[in-house]
Amino acid sequence: MAEEKIARIAREIYENVGGTQNVKKLIHCMTRVRMTIIDDSKVNLAGLKAIDGVMGVVEDETLQVVIGPGTVNKVAQAMVETVGVRLGETFPSAEGQSIDDLMAKTKSEAKEKYNKPSKFKAVLNTISKIFVPLIPAFVGAGLIGGLASVLGNLVTAGTLDAATWTQFITVLKIIQSGIFSYLAIYVGINSAQEFGATPSLGGVIGAVSLLTGMNPEAPLKNIFNGSALSAGQGGIIGVIFAVWLL
C-alpha cells in the first residue's frame, strides 16, 4: 500500500506540472520535492495542492511540493526513476530532445514574442532608418545657415562691411541650399530602400519636389487649394509619402 501511495503521488504531481516533458530537473530536501519547471503556464497549482499526501506548494526559483519527511525522498526517487535519470540530472524530453534545448527554445520563442515590435514601433524604426544616415547633413546645413544668418545680421547692423561680406554670405546660402537639395533627394532614396521601391525613382521624386524647372512667374497650382506652388513646398515628409505611394 505504501508503494502504491508513493507511485500515485509521483504520478499525480507529474500530471499537474505538465508532464515529465515540462520538468528540467528534480531534487528534494527534507520535506519538499523541488522541480525546475520549463513552462510555468502548464502548472496546475490548485491540482497540486489537492493531491492526497501533498501538504502545500511553494513557488520560488523552483516549484516546491511539500510532502513531508520520510516520504519526500521516496516520492522524488520514484519520479526520477519514471524518466530514467538520477536526482539532479536533466530530464530527457518525450521526443528524445534534451530538456535544456526545449527550455532554451521556449525562452527564445517567448523573448521573440515579447520583442516583436508593435506597428507604432515599426513606423518609428522605418523613419529612423530613413533619417539617421542624414543627421550629419542636417547638422551641417543648420550650422551653415546659422552662420550665414549671423553674418547677415552683422552686415545689416553695420558691424561688418557689406562689400566684403555679402558675397561670402551668398556662398554660404548656396551651400546650405545645395545641402537641403541633397537631403530631399537622399530622403527619397532611403525611403525607397525601406519601402521596397527602386532607389533611383525615390531620388527622382525627391528631386522633383524641389521644382527647380518651374517658372516662378507662372507657377503650378496646388490641386487642393489652388495656391501657387513653391520649390520644396511638400518638404521631406511629402517626399516620404510620395515614395510610399510607389
Give, in order, the Cα–Cα distances in Å from 123 to each of 22, 128, 195: 38, 9, 11
CA torsion 187-193-194-198 (nearest 10°) is 100
Residue 64 lies in a domain: yes
Identify the sign of the CA torsion 232, 233, 236, 242: negative
Say how many Å lie between the first and final Cα of the chain, rounded: 77
- 99, 129, 145 - which closes a domain: 99
Q: How confident is the model at residue 103, as a pLDDT?
A: 46
Task: Report the distance separating Cα 129 and Cα 85, nearest Å.
Answer: 52
The residues pairing with 209 across neighbouring beta strands, listed in sequence order, are none
Selection from 5, 52, 14 nearest residue 33 by Cα = 14
**Domain span including residue 10:** 2-99
Task: Report the distance separating Cα 31 and Cα 40, nearest Å.
Answer: 22
Residue 105 lies in a domain: no
3 or 153, which is more confident? 153
Residue 114 lies in a domain: no
Q: In this structure, are 139 and 77 located in the same domain? A: no
Q: In this structure, are 126 and 210 located in the same domain? A: yes
Q: In this structure, are 78 and 149 located in the same domain? A: no
Q: How confident is the model at residue 98, as a pLDDT?
A: 47
Confidence label for 216 from pLDDT (cuts 50, 70 and 90):
confident
SS3 193: helix
What letter does residue 218 receive in the DSSP assignment?
S
Cell of 50: 489537492
Q: In this structure, are 162 and 214 located in the same domain? A: yes
Q: pLDDT at residue 245 above 90?
A: no
Q: In this structure, are 235 and 134 located in the same domain? A: yes
Residues 8-33, mean pLDDT to the nearest whole number = 92
Predicted TM-score of the model (pTM): 0.47
pLDDT, tens digit (0-9, with 9 covering 90-100), for 139-183: 888 899 999 999 999 999 888 888 889 999 999 989 888 888 888
Choosing from 29, 150, 174, 220, which is the catalytic residue? 29
- Give yes or no: 7 in active site: no
Q: How confident is the model at residue 71, as a pLDDT?
A: 92
Q: In this structure, are 127 and 235 located in the same domain? A: yes
The total number of structural domains in the chain stands at 2
- 35, 66, 99 - which closes a domain: 99
Q: pLDDT at residue 95 above 80?
A: no
Residue 108 lies in a domain: no
pLDDT, tens digit (0-9, with 9 covering 90-100), for 34-63: 999 999 899 999 999 999 999 999 998 889
Residue 107 lies in a domain: no
Task: Report the distance separating Cα 173 and Cα 148, nearest Å.
Answer: 7
Give, in order, the Cα–Cα distances in Å from 241 to each of 88, 118, 132, 183, 234: 60, 21, 18, 15, 10
